[in-house]
Amino acid sequence: MNPKIDSKITDSEWEVMRVVWAQDKVTSKEIIEVLQQKKDWKPATTKTFIGRLVKKGMLHTETEGKRYIYSANLNESKFIKGILDETFDNICGKEVGNTIVSLISKATLSFKDIEKMEKALEMKKKDAVEEVPCTCVPGQCKCKDHNCSSGH
């Protein structure tokens, strides 16, 4: 995989990536069609975003005759995982549990999903700690001023 991928993309670029991920290999015409319907974007707008994604290394380009064919250099699940990891890296360790609970509460889940979570939680019990430490830099979270362990 290309080590020079810049996966920091805008919401608009994300829209383009979703089309590419859904279809593996696409032409700009196909991307334009989907996003014209969904976002009412003009072809030039979509082409601008495609160009930026190529520059960032997110899209791979190959030519087929006169046509450009685009494919993703980073797959969707790796991309999502990267975003989630980055988000959780910015949350105080003490707040991670609450954040996950609120994600679960909002999500629509199947019995199968819940079964998987129950198994994951059962495993987690084995290395659970009495209290999750705050590893934040002073001034970047409230743990240092307030007593988080007393719950809030």
- Distance of alpha carbon 18 from alpha carbon 126, whole angstroms: 37
Which of 9-17, 51-59, 114-122, 136-144 is the region at the interface with Zn ion (rule: CB under 5 A)?
136-144
Picking from 50, 55, 56, 52, the residue whose alpha carbon sits closest to that of residue 68 is 50
Cα separation of 51 and 59, whole Å? 9
Shortest distance (Å) from residue 77 CB to Zn ion = 29
59 lies in the site for Zn ion, by CB under 5 A: no
For residues 75 and 21, the answer to whether their CB atoms sit within 8 Å is yes
Q: How far apart are CA 41 and CA 72, in angstroms?
A: 21
Choose the binding region for Zn ion from 13-21, 52-60, 112-120, 133-141 (rule: CB under 5 A): 133-141
Q: Is 136 in the site for Zn ion (CB under 5 A)?
A: yes
Minimum CB–partner distance for residue 129 and Zn ion (Å): 15
| Cβ distance to Zn ion smaller for residue 43 or 93 | 93
- Range in contact with Zn ion (rule: CB under 5 A) among 29-37, 44-52, 89-97, 115-123: 89-97
Please give the angle made by the CA atoms of 50, 27 and 64, to the nearest 5 degrees.
Answer: 115
Tally DSSP H helices, then E strands, for the chain.
6, 3
Residue closer to Zn ion, measured from CB, 65 or 139: 139
- Nearest CA to 91 out of 134, 125, 131 is that of 134
Assess 143 for contact with Zn ion (CB under 5 A).
yes
134 is an interface residue for Zn ion by CB under 5 A: yes
**Which one of the spans 13-21, 61-69, 90-98, 102-110 is the region binding Zn ion (CB under 5 A)?**
90-98
Nearest approach, Cβ of residue 125 and Zn ion (Å) = 23
